[in-house]
Amino acid sequence: MSLFDYTLRELQEKLHKKEISVTDLVEESYKRIDEVDGEVKAFLTLNKEQAMEQASQYDEERGSDDATLFGLPIGVKDNIVTKGLRTTAGSQILDNFNDPLYNATVVNKLNDAKSITIGKLNMDEFAMGSSNENSSYEGSRNPWNTDYVPGGSSGGSAAAVAAGEVPYSLGSDTGGSIRQPAAYCGVVGLKPTYGRVSRFGLIAFASSLDQIGPITRNVEDNAFLLETIAGHDHMDSTSANLEVPKYSESLTGDVKGMKIGVPKEYLGEGVAPEVKEAVQAALKKYEELGATWEEVSLPHSKYALSTYYLISSSEASANLARFDGVRYGKRAEDAETMLDMFKRSRAEGFGDEVKRRIMLGTFALSSGYYDAYYKKAQQVRTLIKNDFEKVFADYDVIIGPTTPTPAFKVGDKVDDPMTMYANDILTIPVNLAGVPGISVPCGFSEAGLPIGLQIIGKHFDEATVYRAAHAFEQATEFHKQRPSLGGAQ
């Protein structure tokens, strides 16, 4: 049995009793990475020397009042800046960004809690993708079956946890990039309310949508990690100045009287029968636990996909303008003029998907098209947000599938961008509305691949989302199953 088959609470108890050391945990992580990452390809950069030094130091400092994350190894998505540790955002244009000068706020919070960063995790380039196949390095694979994708863009973050390489990780979610890979890999992934977690030090894709969040093996671990990384940050003007609840205290297992809304749009055309069956079985489980559910409607969800790609691509075209070969990152060699250097550096540094979205966004923001596309998309975004608020006036949470299908095979959709984009159709509305959403395992397909249940809550009401997720998790066994690659089945 791997040490990482224990919960964070159990690992902390073992540390307090001195049954294990911090060094044991860090060594276990690197041992597992050596064993399986050749197949999973979750990590882009390892932090072994510094991690082992920290582990030795923390073993000497151990006390009875250590925080929940004390001495525990974590993987960090490679678009979250880490001081002195290579940060590429999965792109060749940042391939030589080996020594960042500062930490993201979430990394500083983890360091304050004395968690240990094991390394940086693979991702779709600049978080643009749903399968991890857009990484400019070799794409990650799904630990349940390495012929399949782990999802994206936080595919490395989810795969590393599912494979037992780290007990928990950080990802980022712009249109489903935490929840979708969590569903594909059979782990727990939360997108917090926009503004709940600081974005300072997150390499921006779409600033009004991006949000850092935790990926773990169970709901309680997820709550512990969010308690650590959430909170107001004066370095982020979009950070909410609200008190952070003790989310772990909301995990009572009691959902009696909870009112659940189930959008008819989330179980319609395009959702695989086995996914529908798993969600319907989950709803029956909630009935057994004392909750009630009713069908509701989010009528503007059908416009979410086009709205999202117009807004996110427009923001990406502005955010990625800073990568020009001048200050850091790739610079084209033998350029004859400064303009030629700009053009060639960006042409050589960005991949096809990033170029596609920059071009779409630049067009949508251009003179004569701004009102017709970008402004219209923002207006529809408001309608989508209003849909959620109307439902939440009568219901505690909204529940449906995280993804329309289980994971697909590597290479199956890489040449079909529109089909690939549709994989996020059930997660995108959550980002457009800015509300929190979590994915928890709720079943397996005939091929043995995980299926995810998405639970969506009101703004800044992660506590209720966690309560609903934890009650379902405790009443089922799905979260206890492990891929044979990453540990005991």
What one-character DSSP code corresponds to residue 426? T
CA atoms within 13 A on the CB side of 99: 0
- Known catalytic membership, residue 77: yes
DSSP-derived 3-state class of residue 123? coil
- Known catalytic membership, residue 177: yes
CA angle centred on 105, ends 103 and 109, rounded to 5°: 100
| Residue 140 to residue 147: CA distance in whole angstroms | 10
Spatial CB neighbours of 62, under 8 Å, sequence gap ≥ 6: 15, 16, 18, 22, 70, 71
Q: Which runs of E-coded beta strand occur in 251-383? A: 259-263, 292-296
| 179 within 8 A of 402, measured Cβ to Cβ | yes
Beginning with the edge strand found earlier in the chain, give each strand of the sheet holding 397-401 in spatial order: 43-46, 116-121, 73-77, 168-173, 211-216, 188-191, 437-444, 450-456, 397-401, 259-263, 292-296
Residue of 29, 91, 140, 177 marked catalytic: 177
DSSP element (H, E) containing 473:
helix 462-474
Report strand pairing: 450-456 vs 437-444.
Answer: antiparallel
Residue of 77, 109, 191, 330 marked catalytic: 77
Residue of 29, 131, 153, 439 marked catalytic: 153
In degrees and rounded to multiples of 5, residue 191 shows phi and psi of -100, 110
Residues in the chain, overall count: 489
| 145 within 8 A of 89, measured Cβ to Cβ | no
- Known catalytic membership, residue 367: no
Tokens linked to 400: 């449906």
| Residue 21 to residue 55: CA distance in whole angstroms | 8
**CA distance to 307, 343, 379, per residue, from 300 (Å):** 10, 39, 11
Q: How many CB atoms neighbour CB 332 within 10 A?
A: 16
Residues with catalytic function: 77, 153, 177
